[in-house]
A and B are shown apart, each in its own frame.
Chain A
Amino acid sequence: MSDTPFVDIRHAAKSFGALEVLKDINLTVERGQIVAIIGPSGSGKSTLLRAINELDPLTSGEVWLEGVQINKKLPHRQYEKHVNQVRQDIGMVFQHFNLFPHLSVRDNITLAPKMLKGMSTADANKLAEEQLANVGLSDKIDVFPSRLSGGQKQRVAIARALAMKPKVMLFDEATSALDPELVEEVNLVMKKLAEQHMTMIIVTHEMDFAASVCDRVLFMDQGVVVEEGPPSVIFQNPKEERTKNFLRKHLSR
C-alpha cells in the first residue's frame, strides 16, 4: 500500500442553495477495497458518490484518484477535457441502468471503447464478448435492451462500465429498481467483481449484501458520516444512536 490513498475525498461539502447535503466529508479507499455507503434517503450518500466522478460537483473539497485530482478547477474547455479523461477510469452503475435503448447490447458496450480509445471494431467486439461472458450474458450480445429483464439490463450496464477498464467502480443503488427475484443475479456479478479485487464504492439499501461483501461500511445521515468501520462492527455493534435506529428499521426485514 502506498502512502497516498487510492481514492481520497477531502473535506467534501456540497449545498444546493441554502440546503447543505454534504458537510465536510472525508473518505479514503484503498486499492481493491470495497466500501458500502448506507443511510436513510436524503442522507447525501448518492450525492457523495456522484461527486466522485463530477456528475454532481462538490461546492468545496477535493476528490483524488490515484494521485490525480478529479475535481480540478480549470477553464471550461480544459475542465471538460480533464473530466472526460478521468471519468474513463471511474465506472458507474445506476439505479435505472441507463442502457442506450437505440443500441444493441454489443454497441452499448463497444461505443465508448471505440470512440474514446480508438479501439478497432474487431477488438471492441472481442471485448464485448469477454465482458458479457463475465456477467453471464453471452447469448444476449445482439439483443436490444428493451428485450432484457431488469437484472439482465443491470448486468449489461456493469459490463459496459467494465469495458472501459476502470480503476474504481461506483454503484448507485444498483439493485433498488429490480424485482426482488432479480436482485441476486446482480449481486452475484458484484461479488465476482469483488473476488477479482475491483475497487468498489457501493451505495446500497441491502444490508446483507453490504455485510457479506464489503470491507468497510459508512453510515451517513444528514450529510455527515455518522459512523464507519468494518461490517461486523457497524452491523452488530454500532456505537451511535442514529446508526442503531437506522439498522433496527432495515435489519428486521
Chain B
Amino acid sequence: MDIDLILRVYPFFIEAAVVTLQLSVLTCLLGLACGTLGASMRLSRLAPLRWIAAGYVSVFRGTPALIQIFLLYFGGPQIGIQLDAFAAGTIALGVNIGAYMTETIRGAIVSVDRGQTEASRTLGMSKGQTMRKVILPQAARMMIRPLGVNINALIKGTALVAPISVIELTYTAQRFIGSTYKPFEMFLIAGILYMIIIYAAGQGIKWLDRRAQIV
C-alpha cells in the first residue's frame, strides 16, 4: 500500500467528503419534504391526491435512481430544464429518497393505534387537531429509526452522482485512479470516509431515538 500517495491525495478527498456531506444533507432535507407531502397526500380524504402520491412512490421506487439522475441531468435540457450537475443530482436523489420516506412516514402514522384517534375525536378534537397533537407526536417517535434506514441508503446513494461529474467521494476516487493507477488505495480512502459519515449519521439517529423514547 502506498502510504505516501495516500497522504498526498488526502486533502482532495476531504474536500470531496464535504461535497458528499452537502449532497447528503440537502438530499435528506428535500427527501423529508417530499416524504411529508407524499405521506399527507397518501392519507388524504381526496382520492386524486392519494393516486398522485401512490403514482409518485411506485414510479420513483420502481426505477433505478441512476436513470432518474440521468434523465434529469442529460434529458432535462431537451425539455428546457438546465441544471448544473450538483443541483440535478441533489434534486433527483432527494425526490427519489422522498418516495421511500413517503412510505416510512405514512407507515408510522398508520401504525398509531386507532384508539388514539377515537379518543381524541370523541373529545371533540378535529381531524387536524388530532393529527397535530395526538398522532404525529407518537408517529414521529416511531419513524426515527426507519427514517434512519432511509438516510443510510441515501448517503450511499450519493455515489450515483459520480457519473454526472459531481466532484464527490466516488468521483474523486475514480479521477485519482485515472492518474495514479492505484484503485485499492483510492477506493479504500473513499470507503473509509463514507463509513465515517454514515457512522456519524447513525449515531445522530440513535441519539434522537433515545431522546424521543424517554417517556
What residues of chain B lie closer than 8 Å to A116, measured between beta carbons?
A: 123-125
A-B pairs, 8 with minimum CB distance: A98-B119, A88-B124, A112-B123, A98-B115, A87-B124, A92-B122, A102-B137, A84-B124
What residues of chain A lie closer than 8 Å to B137, measured between beta carbons?
A: 102
A80 within 8 A of B: yes
Main secondary structure of the interface of B (DSSP, over half): helix
Shortest CB distance A90–B (Å): 7
B interface residue numbers (CB < 8 A to A): 45, 113, 115-116, 118-127, 129, 133-134, 137-138, 141, 215
In chain A, positions 153-203 with a C-beta closer than 8 Å to chain B are 157, 160-161, 164
- Bound complex: CA A98 to CA B125 (Å): 15
Shortest CB distance B134–A (Å): 6
Which of the residues A76, A87, A102, A160 comes within 8 Å of B215, measured between beta carbons? A102
Shortest CB distance B51–A (Å): 19
A138 within 8 A of B: no
Q: Is the CB of A144 within 8 A of B115?
A: no
What residues of chain A lie closer than 8 Å to B122, measured between beta carbons?
A: 53, 55, 87, 90-92, 161
A interface residue numbers (CB < 8 A to B): 53, 55, 76, 80, 84-85, 87-88, 90-92, 94, 96, 98-102, 111-112, 115-116, 144, 146, 157, 160-161, 164
Q: Is the CB of B115 within 8 A of A115?
A: no
Residue of B nearest to A86 (CB): B124
- Bound complex: CA A99 to CA B123 (Å): 12
Could you write out 8 A-B pairs with CB less than 8 Å apart? A53-B122, A55-B122, A87-B123, A88-B124, A94-B118, A101-B138, A102-B215, A146-B215
Assess A94 versus B125: contact at CB under 8 Å? Given A100-B134, A115-B133: no
What residues of chain A lie closer than 8 Å to B141, measured between beta carbons?
A: 102
Q: Is the CB of A144 within 8 A of B215?
A: yes
What residues of chain B lie closer than 8 Å to A87, measured between beta carbons?
A: 121-124
Q: Is the CB of B124 within 8 A of A80?
A: no
Assess A164 versus B123: contact at CB under 8 Å? Given A94-B115, A100-B116: yes
- Bound complex: CA A46 to CA B65 (Å): 50
- Bound complex: CA A145 to CA B137 (Å): 15
What residues of chain A lie closer than 8 Å to B138, measured between beta carbons?
A: 100-102
- Bound complex: CA A55 to CA B116 (Å): 13
| Chain A CB within 10 A, most for which of B123, B125, B126 | B123
Q: Is the CB of A161 within 8 A of B215?
A: no
Which of the residues B45, B118, B125 comes within 8 Å of A115, measured between beta carbons? B125
Q: Is the CB of B123 within 8 A of A88?
A: yes
Shortest CB distance A67–B (Å): 19
Residue of A nearest to B136 (CB): A102
